[in-house]
Amino acid sequence: MASHLSHLWVYGIRYGLYFVFAWAAVYWRRWQKRRRESIAQGWPSVEARIVSGQVTPVPKTSCFLATLQYTYFIEEYRTGAYVHEFPKEIDADEFVRQLKDKRVQVRYNQAKPDKSVLEQSVVAQHFVLTPRFG
């Protein structure tokens, strides 16, 4: 009986750590996203078009990531990506569907035009599915 209980403790600790690390990764992505947007506030903007999107599950969580790919032109065509997480796959799919082929403003780094940021506030203007977008 005692060895059975020790196995339960080991599994509980192991899966508890998986859970903590997975959610830490989600919050790290959120922090990085806010930081990138803050840095980009002084950059010029240009029109971009969202060309594709995909939805992927976040391992060890119940969340899904919707990744939008966009293109913009600064001396040549360039690409960028915007990632947003959702608690439900159906919401992430609808997000991608609603934004595909939309024209949006992105900010780009003049010194490194390949670096661009699609701000959440711009995306929110085009997305009208769920009451909680953020």
* pLDDT, tens digit (0-9, with 9 covering 90-100), for 85-126: 899 999 999 999 999 999 999 999 999 999 999 998 888 887
More confident call, 29 vs 112: 112
Can you tell me the distance from the alpha carbon of 31 to that of 18, in angstroms, rounded to the nearest whole number?
A: 20
How many Å apart are CA 59 and CA 74, to the nearest integer? 36
How far apart (Å, rounded) are the C-alpha atoms in residues 56 and 48?
23
Is the pLDDT at 132 greater than 60? The verdict is no
Q: List, in order, residues 6 or more apart from 67 with CB less than 8 Å away.
A: 53, 54, 55, 56, 81, 82, 83
Q: What per-residue confidence (pLDDT) applies to 18?
A: 65
Q: Which position has the token pair 């803050």?
A: 38
CA distances from 134 to 18, 44, 92, 101 (A): 25, 24, 13, 22
> What is the C-alpha to C-alpha distance for residues 129 and 132, in angstroms, rounded to an integer?
9
pTM: 0.72
Work out the pLDDT band at 70, boundaries 50, 70, 90.
Answer: very high
